[in-house]
Structure 1
Amino acid sequence: MTNSTRAGKRERLAGAAVRVLHEQGVEKTTLADIARAADVPVGNVYYYFKTKDQLIEAAIEAHGRHLETMIDTLERLPTPPERLKALLHGWIEERDLTAQFGCPTGTLASELDKRDDGLDRAIAKVMGGLLGWIESQFRAMGRDDARELAVALMAAYQGVALLTNTFRDPGLMAMEGRRLERWIDSLA
């Protein structure tokens, strides 16, 4: 097996872990579920990941890579308000998935918080990266209260993600997204 084949299977397993953990939750998900979703024989999973926690760590790393890619894409936009509104649009585009399963990162963070293995700190670091980026956008807009505004934006998203999931109503995400766009415009 070549290194690229190994890396491909490992990444497939990590990607499947992100998806299955989001859909089923940490406690209900088994290594066999993830192997099935990745189309990898369950026995091969142990070659890449010895424990479920290692696979969860790989899923957290995949969340981090996704965030980095998303930020790189958003950084190509010319102004901080445009970048923040594009972030909102990305969240809104995922409203049907959010209605069904909740925010992928937020629900994982909530589940991992109930465990005593340190994985909660790893997902907090990923979420902290997004919070820091949002803060930098508000700071680039000349806002002295950039940290507070970043927390408010992230809290509004996490709150509406919870409500969207609780009520299975994607329209809530769209409605709050429009309000947050107007809010961002009012701050520029």
Structure 2
Amino acid sequence: MTDSLNPGQNPRAQAAGAKRRRLMAAAAEVVHRQGVERTTIADIARAADVPTGNVYYYFKTKDDLVAAALAEHSRQLDAVTGELDRLTGPRERLKALVAGWVEQRDLAARFGCPTGTLAAELDKRTEGGLDAEAGKVVRRLLDWVAGQFRELGQPDPDGLALTLVGAYQGMSLLTNALRDPEIMTKEGARLTDWLDSLPDGREG
């Protein structure tokens, strides 16, 4: 919802909210491209077109910005799955999810999966607890995918969700390591064929 759709809100609060959202989106983008350790608050401020000094009003530390990046990943995931939920059936939703992954193949070739690479980097840190927050984003995706397999009447929806999301993480990793976007294209086609081959457990 845009600020213009909330006319009762104080204009100053609207501006502050818009600036915070810009910083969150910039944090997600810059951390994905550069990694946590190489990213500075100044980098994020520049990407968001916000004076560096103003960033500290919203986020006191770089870890706060990394947490904001994770929140942005979660928001983007909710937006994607919300759109997919408008499709007719679970098989179509899962195939559209795979198609969306493949569309991001050039980005994956350069930087890998946004959430997966961030989760792997945060796992190497010894403090902060942000690795657990990254895991929650991955869990949200797994739960949504499992829900689709469940609706399709599959006997092991959680296991199938792990298979599909694990395949995505694997092909993202290889695409990035080999700098070859066509890996996503080919493996995405395999996943689509696999989804098509699954029987509809609701029938009969």
TM-score (norm 1): 0.98
Misfit runs of 4+, over 4 Å: none
Deviation at 1:65, TM superposition (A): 0.7
Corresponding residue for residue 105 of structure 1: 115
Match of 1:50, SS? coil
Q: Which letter maps to 1:83? A: R
1:125 corresponds in structure 2 to 136
Q: CA deviation at 1:82?
A: 0.3
User: Percentage identity across aligned positions?
Assistant: 57
1:18 offset after TM fit, Å? 0.4
Give the whole-Å Cα distance in 1 for the aligned partners of 2:75 and 2:47: 20
Match of 1:11 in 2: 21
RMSD: 0.8
Separation (CA, whole Å) in 2 of partners of 1:187 and 1:117: 42
Write out per-residue CA displacement over residues 15-53 of structure 1, whole angstroms, 9 at most, x where no aligned residue. Answer: 000000000000000000000111111011111110001
Would you say 1:174 and 2:185 are equivalent positions?
A: yes
**Alignment partner, residue 77 of structure 2:** 67
The number of residue pairs the alignment matches comes to 188
User: Is 2:1 aligned against 1:20?
Assistant: no
Instruction: Report 1:33-48 matches (<5 A).
Output: 33-48=43-58
**Out of 12, 29, 39, which is 2:39 matched to?**
29
The runs of 5 or more residues in structure 1 that have no matched partner are none
CA distance in 2, matches of 1:107, 1:7: 28
Cα displacement (A) at 1:145? 1.1
Q: Which shows bigger deviation, 138-147 or 19-28? A: 138-147
Structure 2 spans left out of the alignment, 5+ residues = 1-10, 200-204
Q: Please tell me whether residue 184 in structure 1 is matched to residue 195 in structure 2.
A: yes
- How far residue 141 of structure 1 moved from its aligned partner, in angstroms, is 0.9
Residue of 154, 161, 164 corresponding to 1:153: 164
Aligned ranges 1:41-60 → 2 under 5 Å: 41-60=51-70
C-alpha distance in 1 between matches for 2:40 and 2:54: 14
In the alignment, the residues of structure 1 paired with residue 150 and residue 89 of structure 2 have an alpha-carbon distance, to the nearest angstrom, of 12
